[in-house]
Structure 1
Amino acid sequence: MYTEAFFDSLSIYLILGLIFVTILIMFECGYQLAQRFPSKQISGSISPMATGLASLLAFILAITFSMAAVKSGERKQLVLAEANAVGTAILRASLLAEPYRSNSRALLREYVTIRVVEDPEQKKAVLNQVIIDSETLHLKLWNQAIQAHDSTSPELLLLYISALNDVIDIHTERVNKGLRGRIPISIWFTLGLLTFLTVGLNGIQVGAEDKGRALVAALPFALAFSLVLTLIVELDRPERSIIEISQQPLIDLRDSLDKVLYPDQQPLLPQVSKD
Protein backbone atom coordinates (compact mmCIF):
# COMPACT_ATOMS: atom_id res chain seq x y z
CA MET A 1 0.00 0.00 0.00
CA TYR A 2 1.03 3.58 -0.55
CA THR A 3 1.92 5.65 2.50
CA GLU A 4 2.56 9.25 1.56
CA ALA A 5 5.84 10.62 2.87
CA PHE A 6 5.99 14.14 4.26
CA PHE A 7 8.17 15.33 1.39
CA ASP A 8 5.67 13.95 -1.16
CA SER A 9 2.83 15.87 0.48
CA LEU A 10 4.52 19.23 -0.13
CA SER A 11 3.59 21.37 -3.11
CA ILE A 12 6.14 21.15 -5.90
CA TYR A 13 6.28 24.95 -5.95
CA LEU A 14 7.11 24.98 -2.25
CA ILE A 15 9.86 22.42 -2.88
CA LEU A 16 11.25 24.64 -5.65
CA GLY A 17 11.27 27.60 -3.28
CA LEU A 18 12.94 25.63 -0.49
CA ILE A 19 15.68 24.35 -2.79
CA PHE A 20 16.24 27.82 -4.25
CA VAL A 21 16.52 29.45 -0.81
CA THR A 22 18.81 26.69 0.49
CA ILE A 23 21.16 27.08 -2.47
CA LEU A 24 21.28 30.86 -1.94
CA ILE A 25 22.04 30.33 1.75
CA MET A 26 24.90 27.96 0.90
CA PHE A 27 26.27 30.46 -1.59
CA GLU A 28 26.06 33.25 0.99
CA CYS A 29 27.75 31.07 3.63
CA GLY A 30 30.65 30.43 1.25
CA TYR A 31 30.81 34.12 0.36
CA GLN A 32 30.86 35.24 4.00
CA LEU A 33 33.51 32.68 4.86
CA ALA A 34 35.75 34.01 2.09
CA GLN A 35 35.17 37.59 3.23
CA ARG A 36 36.70 36.77 6.60
CA PHE A 37 39.89 35.57 4.92
CA PRO A 38 40.10 37.66 1.76
CA SER A 39 42.85 36.56 -0.59
CA LYS A 40 43.03 36.41 -4.36
CA GLN A 41 45.33 33.41 -3.98
CA ILE A 42 42.46 31.49 -2.42
CA SER A 43 40.35 32.21 -5.51
CA GLY A 44 43.06 30.90 -7.81
CA SER A 45 43.55 27.76 -5.72
CA ILE A 46 39.85 27.03 -5.43
CA SER A 47 39.05 27.52 -9.11
CA PRO A 48 40.30 24.06 -10.31
CA MET A 49 38.58 22.32 -7.39
CA ALA A 50 35.32 24.17 -8.01
CA THR A 51 35.46 23.20 -11.69
CA GLY A 52 36.11 19.55 -10.83
CA LEU A 53 33.33 19.46 -8.25
CA ALA A 54 30.91 21.09 -10.71
CA SER A 55 31.80 18.44 -13.30
CA LEU A 56 31.16 15.67 -10.78
CA LEU A 57 27.84 17.27 -9.83
CA ALA A 58 26.84 17.50 -13.49
CA PHE A 59 27.61 13.79 -13.87
CA ILE A 60 25.49 12.81 -10.85
CA LEU A 61 22.70 15.12 -12.00
CA ALA A 62 22.71 13.49 -15.43
CA ILE A 63 22.54 9.99 -13.92
CA THR A 64 19.76 10.93 -11.50
CA PHE A 65 17.72 12.73 -14.15
CA SER A 66 18.13 9.77 -16.48
CA MET A 67 16.89 7.39 -13.78
CA ALA A 68 13.84 9.56 -13.07
CA ALA A 69 13.06 10.06 -16.78
CA VAL A 70 13.34 6.33 -17.54
CA LYS A 71 11.05 5.45 -14.62
CA SER A 72 8.55 8.07 -15.79
CA GLY A 73 8.62 6.66 -19.32
CA GLU A 74 8.07 3.14 -17.99
CA ARG A 75 5.04 4.29 -16.00
CA LYS A 76 3.56 5.88 -19.10
CA GLN A 77 4.13 2.71 -21.14
CA LEU A 78 2.50 0.61 -18.42
CA VAL A 79 -0.72 2.64 -18.71
CA LEU A 80 -0.87 1.84 -22.42
CA ALA A 81 0.07 -1.80 -21.79
CA GLU A 82 -2.67 -2.11 -19.18
CA ALA A 83 -5.28 -0.64 -21.52
CA ASN A 84 -4.25 -3.11 -24.24
CA ALA A 85 -4.23 -6.05 -21.82
CA VAL A 86 -7.67 -5.25 -20.40
CA GLY A 87 -9.06 -4.69 -23.91
CA THR A 88 -7.68 -8.08 -25.00
CA ALA A 89 -9.15 -9.76 -21.89
CA ILE A 90 -12.57 -8.22 -22.61
CA LEU A 91 -12.51 -9.51 -26.18
CA ARG A 92 -11.33 -12.98 -25.15
CA ALA A 93 -14.01 -13.16 -22.47
CA SER A 94 -16.34 -13.77 -25.42
CA LEU A 95 -14.77 -17.24 -25.68
CA LEU A 96 -16.21 -18.26 -22.29
CA ALA A 97 -19.52 -20.00 -21.93
CA GLU A 98 -22.44 -18.25 -20.27
CA PRO A 99 -22.95 -17.05 -17.57
CA TYR A 100 -19.16 -16.67 -17.12
CA ARG A 101 -18.88 -14.60 -20.29
CA SER A 102 -21.29 -11.91 -19.08
CA ASN A 103 -19.97 -12.02 -15.50
CA SER A 104 -16.35 -11.63 -16.61
CA ARG A 105 -17.21 -8.80 -18.98
CA ALA A 106 -19.06 -6.96 -16.22
CA LEU A 107 -16.13 -7.41 -13.84
CA LEU A 108 -13.63 -6.19 -16.43
CA ARG A 109 -15.82 -3.20 -17.16
CA GLU A 110 -15.91 -2.37 -13.45
CA TYR A 111 -12.14 -2.86 -13.36
CA VAL A 112 -11.55 -0.24 -16.05
CA THR A 113 -13.94 2.17 -14.35
CA ILE A 114 -12.18 2.08 -10.98
CA ARG A 115 -8.72 2.32 -12.57
CA VAL A 116 -9.51 5.70 -14.10
CA VAL A 117 -9.46 8.59 -11.62
CA GLU A 118 -9.64 11.78 -13.65
CA ASP A 119 -9.85 14.25 -10.76
CA PRO A 120 -6.24 14.98 -9.64
CA GLU A 121 -7.41 16.01 -6.16
CA GLN A 122 -8.97 12.59 -5.55
CA LYS A 123 -6.03 10.45 -6.70
CA LYS A 124 -4.14 10.43 -3.41
CA ALA A 125 -7.29 9.91 -1.36
CA VAL A 126 -8.53 6.89 -3.33
CA LEU A 127 -5.20 5.36 -4.39
CA ASN A 128 -5.06 2.62 -1.75
CA GLN A 129 -8.76 1.83 -2.20
CA VAL A 130 -8.24 1.49 -5.96
CA ILE A 131 -5.44 -1.02 -5.35
CA ILE A 132 -7.60 -3.03 -2.93
CA ASP A 133 -10.62 -3.00 -5.26
CA SER A 134 -8.45 -3.97 -8.24
CA GLU A 135 -6.96 -6.98 -6.43
CA THR A 136 -10.43 -8.01 -5.26
CA LEU A 137 -11.64 -7.95 -8.87
CA HIS A 138 -8.60 -10.03 -9.90
CA LEU A 139 -9.74 -12.77 -7.53
CA LYS A 140 -13.33 -12.58 -8.79
CA LEU A 141 -12.19 -12.76 -12.41
CA TRP A 142 -9.93 -15.71 -11.63
CA ASN A 143 -12.77 -17.53 -9.89
CA GLN A 144 -14.97 -16.99 -12.95
CA ALA A 145 -12.24 -18.51 -15.14
CA ILE A 146 -11.98 -21.53 -12.81
CA GLN A 147 -15.74 -22.04 -12.79
CA ALA A 148 -15.82 -21.87 -16.60
CA HIS A 149 -13.41 -24.80 -16.84
CA ASP A 150 -16.08 -27.48 -17.25
CA SER A 151 -18.16 -25.61 -19.82
CA THR A 152 -15.45 -24.03 -21.99
CA SER A 153 -13.00 -25.62 -24.38
CA PRO A 154 -9.50 -25.86 -22.76
CA GLU A 155 -7.90 -24.12 -25.75
CA LEU A 156 -10.30 -21.19 -25.59
CA LEU A 157 -10.07 -20.98 -21.80
CA LEU A 158 -6.28 -20.89 -22.04
CA LEU A 159 -6.44 -17.87 -24.36
CA TYR A 160 -8.62 -16.00 -21.88
CA ILE A 161 -6.50 -16.98 -18.86
CA SER A 162 -3.36 -15.76 -20.65
CA ALA A 163 -4.95 -12.34 -21.18
CA LEU A 164 -6.18 -12.24 -17.58
CA ASN A 165 -2.68 -13.06 -16.32
CA ASP A 166 -1.34 -10.09 -18.30
CA VAL A 167 -3.88 -7.79 -16.60
CA ILE A 168 -2.82 -9.01 -13.15
CA ASP A 169 0.91 -8.83 -13.94
CA ILE A 170 0.70 -5.29 -15.30
CA HIS A 171 -1.21 -4.17 -12.21
CA THR A 172 1.65 -5.51 -10.07
CA GLU A 173 4.19 -3.71 -12.26
CA ARG A 174 2.31 -0.42 -11.99
CA VAL A 175 2.18 -0.67 -8.21
CA ASN A 176 5.88 -1.54 -7.88
CA LYS A 177 7.24 0.91 -10.45
CA GLY A 178 4.79 3.68 -9.68
CA LEU A 179 4.78 3.60 -5.88
CA ARG A 180 7.91 1.71 -4.83
CA GLY A 181 10.34 2.27 -7.70
CA ARG A 182 11.84 5.46 -6.30
CA ILE A 183 15.32 6.92 -6.57
CA PRO A 184 17.33 5.52 -3.61
CA ILE A 185 17.85 7.82 -0.65
CA SER A 186 21.63 7.33 -0.92
CA ILE A 187 21.60 8.95 -4.38
CA TRP A 188 19.48 11.85 -3.10
CA PHE A 189 21.92 12.34 -0.21
CA THR A 190 24.94 12.31 -2.54
CA LEU A 191 23.23 14.67 -4.99
CA GLY A 192 22.24 17.11 -2.27
CA LEU A 193 25.67 17.06 -0.65
CA LEU A 194 27.47 17.63 -3.97
CA THR A 195 25.08 20.46 -4.85
CA PHE A 196 25.66 22.30 -1.61
CA LEU A 197 29.44 21.74 -1.70
CA THR A 198 29.60 23.04 -5.26
CA VAL A 199 27.48 26.09 -4.48
CA GLY A 200 29.40 26.79 -1.27
CA LEU A 201 32.73 26.52 -3.06
CA ASN A 202 31.52 28.91 -5.74
CA GLY A 203 30.49 31.32 -3.00
CA ILE A 204 33.98 31.09 -1.50
CA GLN A 205 35.52 31.71 -4.92
CA VAL A 206 33.36 34.79 -5.53
CA GLY A 207 33.99 36.11 -2.02
CA ALA A 208 37.75 35.64 -2.27
CA GLU A 209 37.88 37.87 -5.32
CA ASP A 210 36.29 40.62 -3.20
CA LYS A 211 34.29 42.10 -6.08
CA GLY A 212 30.80 41.75 -4.65
CA ARG A 213 28.28 38.93 -4.76
CA ALA A 214 27.55 39.25 -8.48
CA LEU A 215 23.86 38.56 -7.90
CA VAL A 216 23.19 39.00 -11.61
CA ALA A 217 25.01 35.68 -12.10
CA ALA A 218 24.37 34.10 -8.68
CA LEU A 219 20.55 34.21 -8.85
CA PRO A 220 20.26 32.50 -12.28
CA PHE A 221 22.91 30.02 -11.13
CA ALA A 222 20.84 29.11 -8.06
CA LEU A 223 17.59 29.07 -10.03
CA ALA A 224 19.04 26.75 -12.69
CA PHE A 225 20.13 24.19 -10.11
CA SER A 226 16.79 24.54 -8.29
CA LEU A 227 14.78 23.90 -11.45
CA VAL A 228 16.76 20.79 -12.39
CA LEU A 229 16.56 19.33 -8.87
CA THR A 230 12.83 20.11 -8.65
CA LEU A 231 12.22 18.47 -12.01
CA ILE A 232 13.95 15.31 -10.79
CA VAL A 233 11.84 15.38 -7.61
CA GLU A 234 8.67 15.78 -9.67
CA LEU A 235 9.54 12.90 -12.01
CA ASP A 236 10.26 10.64 -9.03
CA ARG A 237 7.04 11.34 -7.15
CA PRO A 238 4.17 8.81 -7.41
CA GLU A 239 1.59 11.59 -7.67
CA ARG A 240 2.62 14.46 -9.90
CA SER A 241 1.70 18.13 -9.64
CA ILE A 242 2.80 19.54 -12.99
CA ILE A 243 3.95 16.52 -15.04
CA GLU A 244 0.99 14.17 -15.17
CA ILE A 245 1.14 10.67 -16.61
CA SER A 246 -1.72 10.57 -19.07
CA GLN A 247 -4.49 8.06 -18.36
CA GLN A 248 -5.93 8.61 -21.84
CA PRO A 249 -5.50 4.99 -23.06
CA LEU A 250 -7.62 3.74 -20.14
CA ILE A 251 -10.09 6.59 -20.57
CA ASP A 252 -10.49 5.74 -24.26
CA LEU A 253 -10.99 2.07 -23.38
CA ARG A 254 -13.59 2.91 -20.75
CA ASP A 255 -15.49 5.17 -23.14
CA SER A 256 -15.44 2.55 -25.93
CA LEU A 257 -16.59 -0.42 -23.84
CA ASP A 258 -20.23 -0.14 -24.90
CA LYS A 259 -19.22 -0.51 -28.55
CA VAL A 260 -17.02 -3.51 -27.75
CA LEU A 261 -19.42 -5.32 -25.42
CA TYR A 262 -22.72 -4.46 -27.08
CA PRO A 263 -22.07 -3.86 -30.79
CA ASP A 264 -25.65 -4.79 -31.72
CA GLN A 265 -27.09 -2.07 -29.51
CA GLN A 266 -25.26 0.83 -31.15
CA PRO A 267 -27.60 3.34 -32.78
CA LEU A 268 -27.68 3.32 -36.57
CA LEU A 269 -26.40 6.33 -38.44
CA PRO A 270 -29.20 8.49 -39.81
CA GLN A 271 -29.95 7.97 -43.45
CA VAL A 272 -29.08 10.90 -45.66
CA SER A 273 -31.94 11.89 -47.95
CA LYS A 274 -31.11 11.94 -51.63
CA ASP A 275 -33.91 14.39 -52.44
Structure 2
Amino acid sequence: MSYTAFASLISLVLFFGMVALLEIGRRIGVRRRSIDPDGAQAGTGAVDGAVFALLGLLIAFTFSGAATRFDERRNLVVQEANDIGTAYLRLDLLPPGAQPALRDLFRRYVGSRLEAYRKLPDIAAAKAELAHSIKLQGEIWNQALAASQMNDAPPAATMLLLPALNQMIDITTTRTTATAMHPPVVIFVLLYGLALIAALLAGYGMSAAKARSWLHMIGFAASMALAVHVVIDIEYPRLGLIRVDTFDQVLVDVLESMK
Protein backbone atom coordinates (compact mmCIF):
# COMPACT_ATOMS: atom_id res chain seq x y z
CA MET A 1 0.00 0.00 0.00
CA SER A 2 1.33 3.43 -0.94
CA TYR A 3 1.91 6.11 1.68
CA THR A 4 -0.87 8.31 0.27
CA ALA A 5 -3.37 5.46 0.43
CA PHE A 6 -2.26 4.54 3.95
CA ALA A 7 -2.50 8.14 5.20
CA SER A 8 -5.95 8.51 3.62
CA LEU A 9 -7.07 5.23 5.19
CA ILE A 10 -6.08 6.17 8.73
CA SER A 11 -7.68 9.59 8.28
CA LEU A 12 -10.92 7.93 7.21
CA VAL A 13 -10.68 5.57 10.18
CA LEU A 14 -10.28 8.60 12.45
CA PHE A 15 -13.26 10.31 10.82
CA PHE A 16 -15.63 7.36 11.17
CA GLY A 17 -14.28 6.60 14.65
CA MET A 18 -15.05 10.16 15.76
CA VAL A 19 -18.54 10.02 14.25
CA ALA A 20 -19.18 6.74 16.06
CA LEU A 21 -17.89 8.11 19.38
CA LEU A 22 -19.95 11.26 18.98
CA GLU A 23 -23.03 9.07 18.69
CA ILE A 24 -21.94 6.85 21.59
CA GLY A 25 -21.26 9.90 23.75
CA ARG A 26 -24.65 11.33 22.89
CA ARG A 27 -26.44 8.11 23.83
CA ILE A 28 -24.54 7.94 27.11
CA GLY A 29 -25.56 11.54 27.79
CA VAL A 30 -29.21 10.86 26.96
CA ARG A 31 -29.26 7.85 29.30
CA ARG A 32 -27.55 9.83 32.04
CA ARG A 33 -30.06 12.66 31.70
CA SER A 34 -32.95 10.22 32.00
CA ILE A 35 -31.51 9.02 35.32
CA ASP A 36 -30.26 12.33 36.70
CA PRO A 37 -31.62 15.32 34.73
CA ASP A 38 -30.13 17.95 37.05
CA GLY A 39 -26.68 16.45 37.60
CA ALA A 40 -25.93 15.08 34.14
CA GLN A 41 -23.85 18.13 33.17
CA ALA A 42 -22.50 19.00 36.62
CA GLY A 43 -18.72 19.38 36.61
CA THR A 44 -18.30 18.29 32.98
CA GLY A 45 -17.33 21.72 31.67
CA ALA A 46 -13.92 21.70 33.33
CA VAL A 47 -13.10 18.24 31.97
CA ASP A 48 -14.29 19.12 28.47
CA GLY A 49 -12.29 22.34 28.49
CA ALA A 50 -9.12 20.62 29.66
CA VAL A 51 -9.32 17.85 27.02
CA PHE A 52 -10.12 20.22 24.15
CA ALA A 53 -7.40 22.64 25.24
CA LEU A 54 -4.87 19.79 25.35
CA LEU A 55 -6.02 18.60 21.92
CA GLY A 56 -5.71 22.11 20.50
CA LEU A 57 -2.21 22.54 21.91
CA LEU A 58 -1.08 19.17 20.59
CA ILE A 59 -2.37 19.95 17.08
CA ALA A 60 -0.77 23.39 17.18
CA PHE A 61 2.62 22.08 18.28
CA THR A 62 2.68 19.13 15.88
CA PHE A 63 1.63 21.35 12.97
CA SER A 64 4.18 24.01 13.90
CA GLY A 65 6.95 21.41 14.19
CA ALA A 66 6.00 19.77 10.88
CA ALA A 67 5.87 23.13 9.09
CA THR A 68 9.27 24.12 10.53
CA ARG A 69 10.86 20.87 9.37
CA PHE A 70 9.19 21.27 5.97
CA ASP A 71 10.77 24.71 5.53
CA GLU A 72 14.13 23.41 6.74
CA ARG A 73 14.10 20.61 4.18
CA ARG A 74 13.35 23.08 1.39
CA ASN A 75 16.15 25.37 2.55
CA LEU A 76 18.59 22.45 2.65
CA VAL A 77 17.86 21.66 -1.01
CA VAL A 78 18.77 25.24 -1.93
CA GLN A 79 21.84 25.13 0.31
CA GLU A 80 23.08 21.92 -1.32
CA ALA A 81 22.61 23.43 -4.77
CA ASN A 82 24.64 26.45 -3.71
CA ASP A 83 27.40 24.29 -2.21
CA ILE A 84 27.65 22.15 -5.35
CA GLY A 85 27.66 25.21 -7.59
CA THR A 86 30.40 26.86 -5.55
CA ALA A 87 32.60 23.74 -5.57
CA TYR A 88 32.05 23.30 -9.31
CA LEU A 89 33.12 26.87 -10.08
CA ARG A 90 36.28 26.45 -8.01
CA LEU A 91 37.40 23.61 -10.25
CA ASP A 92 38.74 26.44 -12.43
CA LEU A 93 41.58 26.72 -9.91
CA LEU A 94 42.92 23.29 -10.87
CA PRO A 95 45.31 22.61 -13.71
CA PRO A 96 43.40 22.44 -17.04
CA GLY A 97 44.31 18.80 -17.59
CA ALA A 98 42.62 17.71 -14.34
CA GLN A 99 39.36 19.56 -14.86
CA PRO A 100 37.44 17.51 -17.48
CA ALA A 101 37.36 14.30 -15.44
CA LEU A 102 36.24 16.14 -12.32
CA ARG A 103 33.55 18.06 -14.19
CA ASP A 104 32.19 14.77 -15.52
CA LEU A 105 32.16 13.36 -12.00
CA PHE A 106 30.26 16.41 -10.78
CA ARG A 107 27.59 15.94 -13.45
CA ARG A 108 27.19 12.29 -12.51
CA TYR A 109 27.10 13.23 -8.84
CA VAL A 110 24.34 15.83 -9.19
CA GLY A 111 22.32 13.38 -11.29
CA SER A 112 22.73 10.75 -8.59
CA ARG A 113 21.64 13.17 -5.87
CA LEU A 114 18.48 13.98 -7.81
CA GLU A 115 17.72 10.31 -8.43
CA ALA A 116 18.15 9.44 -4.74
CA TYR A 117 15.12 11.58 -3.85
CA ARG A 118 13.13 10.90 -7.00
CA LYS A 119 13.10 7.19 -6.18
CA LEU A 120 11.17 7.78 -2.96
CA PRO A 121 8.94 6.26 -1.59
CA ASP A 122 10.97 3.21 -2.70
CA ILE A 123 13.27 3.32 0.33
CA ALA A 124 15.56 0.50 -0.83
CA ALA A 125 16.14 2.10 -4.24
CA ALA A 126 16.70 5.51 -2.67
CA LYS A 127 19.27 4.09 -0.25
CA ALA A 128 21.08 2.32 -3.09
CA GLU A 129 21.26 5.56 -5.08
CA LEU A 130 22.41 7.45 -1.99
CA ALA A 131 25.23 4.92 -1.55
CA HIS A 132 26.19 5.50 -5.19
CA SER A 133 26.33 9.27 -4.66
CA ILE A 134 28.51 8.79 -1.57
CA LYS A 135 30.88 6.67 -3.68
CA LEU A 136 31.04 9.50 -6.23
CA GLN A 137 31.83 11.91 -3.39
CA GLY A 138 34.89 9.84 -2.55
CA GLU A 139 36.04 9.82 -6.16
CA ILE A 140 35.58 13.60 -6.45
CA TRP A 141 37.51 14.19 -3.25
CA ASN A 142 40.40 11.91 -4.18
CA GLN A 143 40.78 13.35 -7.67
CA ALA A 144 40.48 16.94 -6.45
CA LEU A 145 43.05 16.31 -3.73
CA ALA A 146 45.49 14.79 -6.20
CA ALA A 147 44.93 17.60 -8.70
CA SER A 148 45.44 20.32 -6.08
CA GLN A 149 48.84 18.80 -5.23
CA MET A 150 50.15 18.94 -8.78
CA ASN A 151 53.19 21.07 -9.41
CA ASP A 152 51.30 23.52 -11.62
CA ALA A 153 48.34 23.83 -9.23
CA PRO A 154 48.14 27.25 -7.52
CA PRO A 155 48.08 27.36 -3.69
CA ALA A 156 44.53 28.75 -3.86
CA ALA A 157 43.32 25.41 -5.20
CA THR A 158 43.93 23.71 -1.86
CA MET A 159 42.73 26.64 0.24
CA LEU A 160 39.50 27.29 -1.69
CA LEU A 161 38.46 24.10 -3.46
CA LEU A 162 38.90 21.51 -0.72
CA PRO A 163 36.82 23.41 1.91
CA ALA A 164 34.07 23.87 -0.69
CA LEU A 165 34.10 20.14 -1.44
CA ASN A 166 33.99 19.36 2.26
CA GLN A 167 30.92 21.56 2.67
CA MET A 168 29.30 19.91 -0.36
CA ILE A 169 29.84 16.50 1.20
CA ASP A 170 28.66 17.54 4.67
CA ILE A 171 25.34 18.88 3.40
CA THR A 172 24.36 15.41 2.18
CA THR A 173 24.54 14.09 5.74
CA THR A 174 22.53 17.06 6.96
CA ARG A 175 19.83 16.47 4.34
CA THR A 176 19.67 12.73 5.02
CA THR A 177 19.31 13.37 8.76
CA ALA A 178 16.64 16.03 8.19
CA THR A 179 14.67 13.63 5.96
CA ALA A 180 14.60 11.02 8.74
CA MET A 181 13.78 13.50 11.51
CA HIS A 182 10.18 13.04 12.71
CA PRO A 183 8.31 13.16 16.03
CA PRO A 184 8.04 9.88 17.95
CA VAL A 185 5.13 7.68 16.87
CA VAL A 186 3.63 8.03 20.35
CA ILE A 187 2.91 11.71 19.55
CA PHE A 188 0.66 10.72 16.65
CA VAL A 189 -0.95 7.97 18.73
CA LEU A 190 -1.68 10.54 21.45
CA LEU A 191 -3.11 12.93 18.86
CA TYR A 192 -5.46 10.27 17.52
CA GLY A 193 -6.42 9.17 21.01
CA LEU A 194 -7.22 12.70 22.17
CA ALA A 195 -9.29 13.33 19.05
CA LEU A 196 -11.38 10.24 19.79
CA ILE A 197 -11.77 11.16 23.46
CA ALA A 198 -12.79 14.70 22.47
CA ALA A 199 -15.43 13.24 20.14
CA LEU A 200 -16.86 11.14 22.97
CA LEU A 201 -17.06 14.16 25.28
CA ALA A 202 -18.52 16.36 22.55
CA GLY A 203 -21.19 13.77 21.87
CA TYR A 204 -22.03 13.70 25.59
CA GLY A 205 -22.37 17.48 25.58
CA MET A 206 -24.73 17.34 22.59
CA SER A 207 -27.13 15.06 24.44
CA ALA A 208 -29.13 18.04 25.68
CA ALA A 209 -30.68 18.43 22.22
CA LYS A 210 -33.71 16.30 21.39
CA ALA A 211 -32.40 15.48 17.91
CA ARG A 212 -28.83 14.88 16.83
CA SER A 213 -27.18 17.48 14.60
CA TRP A 214 -25.47 15.56 11.83
CA LEU A 215 -24.06 18.78 10.44
CA HIS A 216 -22.10 19.45 13.62
CA MET A 217 -21.13 15.83 14.14
CA ILE A 218 -19.82 15.30 10.60
CA GLY A 219 -18.30 18.79 10.49
CA PHE A 220 -16.38 18.27 13.73
CA ALA A 221 -15.11 14.82 12.73
CA ALA A 222 -14.16 15.94 9.22
CA SER A 223 -12.31 19.02 10.52
CA MET A 224 -10.26 16.99 12.97
CA ALA A 225 -9.49 14.21 10.47
CA LEU A 226 -8.42 16.76 7.85
CA ALA A 227 -6.22 18.65 10.32
CA VAL A 228 -4.46 15.47 11.43
CA HIS A 229 -4.04 14.33 7.82
CA VAL A 230 -2.42 17.64 6.84
CA VAL A 231 -0.02 17.45 9.80
CA ILE A 232 1.11 13.97 8.79
CA ASP A 233 1.36 14.92 5.13
CA ILE A 234 3.59 17.91 5.87
CA GLU A 235 5.72 15.72 8.13
CA TYR A 236 6.52 13.38 5.21
CA PRO A 237 6.90 15.77 2.24
CA ARG A 238 8.53 13.22 -0.05
CA LEU A 239 5.69 10.71 0.26
CA GLY A 240 2.33 12.48 0.45
CA LEU A 241 0.43 15.16 -1.46
CA ILE A 242 2.29 18.12 0.07
CA ARG A 243 5.79 17.82 -1.38
CA VAL A 244 9.14 19.58 -1.59
CA ASP A 245 9.92 18.08 -4.99
CA THR A 246 9.48 21.42 -6.74
CA PHE A 247 12.56 22.73 -4.94
CA ASP A 248 14.63 20.00 -6.61
CA GLN A 249 14.47 22.25 -9.65
CA VAL A 250 17.38 24.25 -8.24
CA LEU A 251 19.54 21.13 -8.45
CA VAL A 252 18.26 20.50 -11.97
CA ASP A 253 19.31 24.04 -12.86
CA VAL A 254 22.77 23.41 -11.41
CA LEU A 255 23.07 20.25 -13.49
CA GLU A 256 22.00 22.12 -16.61
CA SER A 257 24.61 24.80 -15.96
CA MET A 258 27.32 22.12 -15.98
CA LYS A 259 26.57 21.01 -19.55
Same fold (TM over 0.5): yes
Q: Name the structure 1 match of 2:201.
A: 201
Counterpart mapping for 1:40-51 below 5 A: 40=37, 41-51=39-49
Separation (CA, whole Å) in 2 of partners of 1:175 and 1:147:
28
Q: Name the structure 1 match of 2:173.
A: 172
Aligned pair 1:216/2:215, yes or no? yes
Q: Name the structure 2 match of 1:20.
A: 15
Q: Name the structure 1 match of 2:60.
A: 62
Report the alpha carbon displacement of residue 117 of structure 1 after superposing the two structures with TM.
4.2
Equivalent residues of 1:31, 1:204 under 8 A apart: yes
Q: In structure 2, which of residues 104, 110, 113 is the aligned counterpart of residue 112 of structure 1? A: 110
Equivalent residues of 2:115, 2:129 under 8 A apart: no
Counterpart mapping for 1:39-188 below 5 A: 39-40=36-37, 41-117=39-115, 122-125=119-122, 126-151=125-150, 152-178=153-179, 180-188=180-188
Report the alpha carbon displacement of residue 238 of structure 1 after superposing the two structures with TM.
5.2
Separation (CA, whole Å) in 2 of partners of 1:16 and 1:192:
10
Change (3 A) 1:150 1:256: closer
Secondary structure of 2:130's partner?
helix
Q: Which runs of 5+ in 1 are unaligned?
A: 1-5, 259-275
Provide the aligned C-alpha RMSD in A.
Answer: 2.3
Q: Which moved more, 1:36-45 or 1:197-206?
A: 36-45
Equivalent residues of 2:4, 2:240 under 8 A apart: no
Equivalent residues of 2:116, 2:126 under 8 A apart: no
Change (3 A) 1:241 1:112: same
Separation (CA, whole Å) in 2 of partners of 1:129 and 1:35:
59
Separation (CA, whole Å) in 2 of partners of 1:228 and 1:112:
36
Q: Which amino acid aligns with 1:240?
A: L
Equivalent residues of 2:148, 2:157 under 8 A apart: no
Aligned pair 1:225/2:224, yes or no? yes
1:153-199 deviation per Cα after TM superposition (whole angstroms, max 9, x unaligned): 34322211111111111111111111x20112232233222222211
Separation (CA, whole Å) in 2 of partners of 1:202 and 1:32:
11
Q: TM-score, normalised by structure 2?
A: 0.87
Equivalent residues of 1:20, 1:223 under 8 A apart: yes
Secondary structure of 2:238's partner?
coil
Secondary structure of 1:37's partner?
helix
Report the alpha carbon displacement of residue 42 of structure 1 after superposing the two structures with TM.
2.1
Equivalent residues of 1:11, 1:241 under 8 A apart: no
Secondary structure of 1:62's partner?
helix
Change (3 A) 1:61 1:192: same
Q: Percent identity?
A: 27
Q: Which amino acid aligns with 2:63?
A: F
Equivalent residues of 2:18, 2:196 under 8 A apart: yes
Aligned length: 250
